[in-house]
């Protein structure tokens, strides 16, 4: 059977896009033929080291050519790619490696401190000049392409989402999920083969990978990759490379508009700006409108690869409070607790269906059954649809906090804080932040007679979870407002303590 997976995309493009630039990262410039040969070499080298269909291979590191080469090499083998968040602590990384059953870890040298010590998982280090370093391993592989049988139904990647009960779950995305999501992006965001997409958001996030990198490669465009977000470097790259497409979160665009080089940078090449995570603040939108630019935005999640809806620039003003219309090959419903569609304008749970909806959670059959009930992805988010079909998000699921581009699930942080003997009860809420959109605030009820400080909370969490998850402030209370069943009423906490 011919390889139908995403791992063969670059190989197929090597002739269709002959000579066209595929990847730029600093001094590295590769066309599709060069990139395809490196992917083939790495795939052969990994196969020689025992990687086969269904094996999990993890990658930990910032945006780099090696991330993309590993992604395509691993998936071309029918193995499963596991991208890891570089902002996580070693304990969190260790859990995901163990939970996924990763058999090989490829990581950047600078990410070594986040790799659990004493682990049994073999490693290949990017930047290591030794015989087991990434470059040497790749060079040991043969450049011949091998057409391995991979179907659209096969798992391609496991991306971890923060768990509502404190433990992350691995969302399994198939080759078909990622392919159809890329097609949705191409259709609804007008991706063309002349696109030059600047990738500054982390590729280990499904938004940057699914809505940026993969659609660009599928169309034969060029990816300009930067290891981290730096406003000056982004503005310089737009002008130097003739960037046509840029994606990010509101903070990304705010920092660009506030940079001293903003007014002097030539932005005339830009055709597409996409923003995710949360709505673009009016003042930020206005700064870009003065430069003749408007935003696309949308709604989605890891489990939908991630696109569910999109809002095109033509509606960026008159529908600015909405998340847009369903993607071309995706359906969205809003239902009441019985599962019946609600009336126009009425709030209900948002359900998503389409070929981009994930296969399920890794080793979590109960959670999979619950989330994919009746053939629809039950998001847990609340929203409503207007007369024209535009979706508006009324409330996020499970009290999730979005800080910059990162999701924070309070249960994970609360579970760790409850280890402190001075704490009787704790709740984490999001509070507005000018730069990050939201940050966490811990509301703490100390044990009778005990004292606890914000610094003690931070010290307890530091090194155990990613720093962006650590509360930026703490409020002490004598008791919590609770429901009749004893559940903490977080809506009341937000009213009382949610001001900046």
| pTM of the complete model | 0.85
Give me the CATH code for the 408-497 domain, please. 3.30.300.30
What pLDDT shows up at residue 1? 54
pLDDT tens column, 135-147: 999 999 999 999 9
Task: Report yes or no: 176 and 170 within 8 Å, Cβ to Cβ.
Answer: no
What pLDDT shows up at residue 86? 94
Confidence of residue 396 (pLDDT cuts 50, 70, 90): low
| CA atoms in the 13 A half-sphere facing the CB of 46 | 34
Confidence of residue 158 (pLDDT cuts 50, 70, 90): very high
Q: Taking every pair of C-alpha atoms in the chain, what is the biggest distance, in angstroms?
A: 73
Q: Where are the domains of the chain?
A: 6-382, 408-497
Task: Report yes or no: 239 and 265 within 8 Å, Cβ to Cβ.
Answer: yes
6-382 and 408-497 share one fold: no
63 vs 44: CA distance, rounded Å: 23
Radius of gyration, alpha carbons of the chain: 23
What pLDDT shows up at residue 398? 60
Give me the CATH code for the 6-382 domain, please. 3.40.50.12780
What pLDDT shows up at residue 74? 98
361 vs 456: CA distance, rounded Å: 35
Residue 360: CB atoms within 10 A of its CB come to 19
Most confident of 162-166, 204-208, 408-412: 204-208
- Burial, 322: exposed, middle or buried (Cβ in 10 Å; 0-12, 13-18, 19+)? buried
Mean per-residue pLDDT over the chain, rounded: 92
Percent of the chain with pLDDT over 70: 96
Residues facing 351 on adjacent strands: 333, 378
Per the listing, tokens 């052969």 go with: 44
Confidence of residue 163 (pLDDT cuts 50, 70, 90): low
What pLDDT shows up at residue 278? 67
Q: What is the mean pLDDT of residues 203-207?
A: 94
Ranking 168-172, 437-441, 449-453, 482-486 by mean pLDDT, the lowest is 482-486
pLDDT tens column, 483-492: 654 568 888 8
């Amino acid at each position: 059977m011919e390889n139908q997976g995403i791992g063969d995309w670059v190989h197929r493009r090597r002739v269709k896009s002959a000579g066209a630039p595929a990847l730029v990262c600093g001094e590295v410039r590769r066309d599709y033929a060069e990139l395809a040969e490196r992917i083939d070499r790495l795939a052969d080298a990994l196969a020689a080291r025992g990687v086969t269909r269904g094996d999990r291979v993890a990658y930990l590191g910032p945006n780099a050519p090696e991330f993309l080469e590993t992604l395509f090499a691993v998936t071309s083998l029918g193995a499963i790619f596991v991208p890891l968040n570089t902002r996580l602590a070693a304990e969190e990384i260790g859990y995901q490696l163990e939970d996924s059953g990763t058999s090989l870890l490829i990581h950047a040298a600078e990410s070594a401190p986040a790799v659990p010590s004493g682990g049994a998982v073999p490693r290949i280090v990017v930047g290591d000049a030794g015989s087991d370093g990434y470059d040497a391993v790749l060079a040991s592989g043969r450049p011949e392409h091998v057409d391995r049988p991979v179907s659209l139904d096969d798992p391609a990647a496991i991306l971890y989402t923060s768990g509502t009960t404190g433990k992350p779950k691995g969302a399994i995305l198939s080759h078909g999920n990622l392919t159809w999501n890329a097609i949705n992006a191409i259709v609804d965001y007008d991706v063309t083969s002349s696109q030059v997409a600047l990738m500054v958001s982390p590729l280990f996030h499904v938004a940057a990978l699914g809505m940026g990198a993969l659609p660009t490669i599928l169309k034969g465009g060029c990816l300009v990759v930067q290891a981290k977000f730096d406003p000056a470097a982004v503005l310089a790259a737009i002008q130097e490379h003739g960037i046509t497409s840029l994606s990010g979160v509101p903070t990304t665009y705010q920092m660009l508009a506030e940079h001293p080089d903003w007014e002097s940078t030539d932005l005339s090449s830009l055709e597409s700006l996409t923003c995710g995570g949360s709505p673009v603040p009016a003042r930020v939108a206005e700064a870009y409108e003065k430069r003749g630019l408007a935003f696309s935005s949308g709604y989605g999640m890891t489990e939908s690869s991630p696109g569910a809806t999109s809002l095109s620039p033509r509606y960026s003003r008159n529908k600015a409070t909405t998340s847009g219309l369903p993607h071309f090959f995706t359906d969205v419903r809003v239902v009441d607790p019985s599962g019946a569609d609600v009336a126009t304008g009425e709030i209900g749970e948002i359900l998503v269906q389409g070929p981009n909806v994930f296969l399920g959670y890794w080793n979590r059959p109960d959670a999979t059954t619950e989330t994919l009930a009746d053939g629809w992805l039950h998001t847990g988010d609340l929203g409503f649809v207007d007369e024209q079909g535009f979706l508006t998000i009324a409330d996020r699921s499970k009290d999730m906090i979005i800080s910059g581009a990162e999701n924070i699930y309070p249960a994970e942080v609360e579970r760790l804080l409850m280890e402190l003997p001075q704490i009787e009860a704790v709740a984490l809420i999001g509070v507005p932040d000018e730069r990050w959109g939201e940050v966490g605030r811990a509301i703490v009820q100390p044990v009778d007679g005990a004292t606890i400080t914000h610094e003690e909370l931070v010290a307890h969490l530091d090194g155990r979870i990613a720093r962006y998850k650590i509360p930026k402030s703490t409020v002490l209370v004598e008791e919590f407002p609770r429901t009749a069943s004893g559940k903490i009423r977080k809506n009341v906490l937000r009213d009382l303590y949610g001001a900046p």
